[in-house]
A = this chain, B = another copy of it.
Amino acid sequence: MELNQVKQVVLKVKEKKPLIHHLTNLVVTNFTANGTIAYGASPIMANAVEEVEEMVRVANGLVINMGTITPEMVTAMEKAGKEANRVGVPIILDPVGVGATTYRTEVVKRMMDTFKPAVIRGNAAEMAQLAGIPWQIKGVDSVGEGGDRFEVAKKVVEKYQTVAVITGEKDIVTDGERTAVIANGHPLLSTVTGTGCLATAIIGATIAVEEDAFIASVAALTYYEIAAEKAAAKTQGPGTFAAYLMDELYQLPISDIDTMAKIEWVKK
């Protein structure tokens, strides 16, 4: 039953082609725009303080990614986030590298006082930082094992009243009530910059068409990571993998979810 829901949600993205406003980092701008299109949505990447509110009002979803924040970008994010909340446009936050510097930690705190995301997606270290649980961080990448990832996800849900998504070898998605663990994906994903950011963008495109942000997040991640598995099967290195990943996001038959999805519904 849930698998049918997952498939329906992905199909809805491809049918409705939602318009997704991105305030994202300089490293992945092109990659996430292309991934958004390949998946079936339409990206806007405008980031001037002068126009972000107006852009948000015509958008169906908002992606906020902290990868290369500057004070100007943070102002744009706060304006856009606030307006998105006001007009009911769902937000996904990617707290890239939070905890790596004092600046990032302060910025994310201030942003969380300004607007409320429907979903927060990060790696274990970033999410642990948001949850206030100690975790080792190396630059913007999560390393080591740290504490219990389920506990981290649960704390993030409680603290921010959001769906929490922790990606890694296995992904955890939870809204506090329901939890899913997704075991799809491929090691080559970690050899291309921005594949985490693209996971965020794909979820952002999906919550734009599906109000149930838990199901939307599970559906988006599952589809994305099956696409990665199929892309990986065609290649042996990160360069061609990145190209095939776009191809697969574009053409992956929805029926592959039936045969390839590895979702464990921990609690219903």
Contact = CB atoms under 8 A, between A and B. Distances in A.
Q: Report copies per complex.
A: 3
23 contacts: A28-B30, A29-B30, A33-B194, A34-B192, A38-B237, A42-B138, A44-B140, A45-B67, A46-B68, A48-B71, A49-B70, A50-B70, A51-B101, A51-B104, A54-B102, A54-B103, A191-B250, A237-B246, A237-B247, A237-B251, A239-B247, A240-B243, A242-B246
Contacts of A46: 67-69, 97, 100-101, 140
Contacts of A49: 70
A3 interface: no
Interface stretch (A19-27, A170-178, A214-222): A19-27
A55 interface: yes
A239 B235 contact: no
A168 interface: no
A38 B191 contact: yes
A247 B243 contact: no
A47 interface: yes
A139 interface: yes
Interface string A227-268: 000000001111110111111101100000000000000000
A9 interface: no
Interface of A: 19, 21, 25-31, 33-34, 37-38, 42-51, 54-55, 58-59, 67-72, 97, 100-104, 138-141, 191-194, 235-240, 242-248, 250-251
A244 B237 CA distance: 8
Is chain A's interface secondary structure helix, strand, loop, or mixed overall?
mixed
A1 B73 CA distance: 51
Contacts of A248: 237
B26 A45 contact: yes
A55 B243 CA distance: 31
A239 B193 contact: no
A29 B59 CA distance: 24
Contacts of A47: 26, 68, 70
Given A37-B238, A48-B71, A245-B239, A55 B100 contact: yes
Contact of A238 (B25, B28, B54, B250): B250
A27 B29 contact: yes
A103 B70 CA distance: 21
B55 A139 contact: yes
A37 B247 contact: no
